[in-house]
């Protein structure tokens, strides 16, 4: 049965989607059966993987249509999760997202057991995968709550900048609350330092502070700032498809090894 991991931080731009996509691709490259779930209404993970993408990314006049069926249809109860899974590549499958999720808090607010909709959906396919990774929105609303209630572990990407720790305490408090009410087995699987520029004194100091604050929860792997990681989404590719010899590919390979070793 799959180990399920949410990649979550209510702060935007810290590397959640980049980590979900490229950690998933690295694990798939190691022979693991991986399912990626996009539960963010911005659909950045879906776009990053080229799911429902326009034919020519450079043509700004062409509007991407997006996939016909998404996680929105699953949460609304209109489709089974099996119906919306898209095969992306060998060992890597995707549940895409939709802008319609932006109204999820309102539309699902009156549904009994609304916090466990994703958990119930995932349970039907967990035995088909080794790892399930969920890309969460940059908020702590109903969608993130669903993701936390559905998984075994949480990975928290944190940028090595001054404001990095702001809000992380709130996130950890939320995780505690979810553990007490919805998911007694939920743990923090690791804090991941992302977008790190070791040439900057402040970045080094913040990274040291993160390690001092979170201790052994911090992954040994650090995701270095790398332009290829920023360019790959525009091509609808993972870092291993776009630039497999880059430092970004090297870092996510190392993270995958660390995640597998921790799991073992």
Of 109-113, 223-227, 249-253, least confident by mean pLDDT is 109-113
- Rounded-to-integer distance, Cα 152 and Cα 144, Å: 14
What is the Cα–Cα distance from 222 to 190, expressed in whole angstroms?
12
* CB-based contact 221:192 (threshold 8 Å): yes
Q: What is the pLDDT of residue 64?
A: 52
Q: Where are the domains of the chain?
A: 3-263
Q: Choose the weakest-confidence range: 82-96, 121-135, 250-264.
A: 250-264
Return the higher-pLDDT residue of 61 and 172.
172
- What is the crossing angle of helices 168-181 and 142-150, to 10°? 60
pLDDT at 264 over 50: no
Helix (H, G, I), strand (E, B) or coil at 112: coil
Is residue 93 within 8 Å of residue 82, measured between CB atoms?
no
DSSP 3-state assignment of 189? Answer: strand
pLDDT in tens, 242-254: 999 999 999 999 9
Mean pLDDT of 179-201: 92
- The reported pLDDT for the residue numbered 112 is 85
How much is the pTM? 0.93
pLDDT higher than threshold 80 for residue 111: yes
124: DSSP letter:
T
User: Which residue, 231, 228, 246, 158, is CA-closest to 196?
Assistant: 158
Mean local confidence (pLDDT), 191-219: 89
Q: Contact at 8 Å (CB) between 167 and 173?
A: no
Q: Which fold has domain 3-263?
A: Rossmann fold (3.40.50)
Contacts of 49 (CB under 8 A, 6+ apart): 21, 36, 88, 94, 236, 238
Residues 16-72 pLDDT 10s: 999 999 999 999 999 999 999 999 999 999 999 999 755 454 555 554 556 889 999
The pLDDT of residue 60? 53
Query: Which pLDDT does position 59 carry in this prediction?
Result: 58
pLDDT surpassing 50 at residue 227: yes
pLDDT given for residue 226 in this prediction? 93
Report d(CA 34, CA 130) in Å as an integer. Answer: 6
């Amino acid at each position: 049965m799959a180990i399920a991991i949410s990649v979550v931080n209510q702060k935007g731009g810290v590397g959640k989607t980049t980590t979900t996509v490229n950690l998933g691709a690295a694990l798939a490259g190691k022979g693991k059966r991986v399912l990626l779930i996009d539960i963010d209404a911005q659909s950045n993970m879906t776009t990053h993987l080229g799911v429902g993408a326009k034919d020519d990314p450079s043509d700004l006049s062409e509007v991407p249509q997006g996939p016909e069926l998404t996680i929105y249809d699953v949460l609304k109860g209109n489709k089974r999760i099996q119906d919306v899974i898209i095969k992306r590549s060998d060992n890597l499958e995707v549940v895409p997202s939709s802008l319609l999720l932006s109204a999820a808090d309102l539309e699902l607010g009156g549904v009994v057991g609304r916090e466990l909709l994703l958990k119930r959906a995932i349970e039907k396919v967990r035995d088909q995968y080794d790892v399930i990774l969920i890309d969460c929105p940059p908020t702590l609303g109903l969608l993130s709550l669903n993701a936390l209630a559905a998984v075994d572990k949480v990975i928290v990407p944190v940028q090595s900048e001054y404001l990095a720790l702001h809000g992380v305490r709130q996130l950890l408090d939320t995780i505690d609350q979810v553990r007490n009410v919805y998911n007694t087995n939920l743990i923090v699987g690791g804090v991941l330092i992302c977008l790190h520029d070791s040439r900057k004194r402040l970045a080094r100091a913040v990274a040291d502070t993160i390690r001092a604050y979170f201790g052994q929860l911090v992954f040994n792997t650090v995701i270095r700032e790398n332009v290829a990681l920023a360019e790959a989404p525009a091509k609808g590719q993972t870092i291993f498809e776009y630039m497999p010899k880059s430092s970004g590919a090297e870092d996510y390979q190392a993270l995958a090894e660390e995640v597998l070793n921790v799991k073992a």
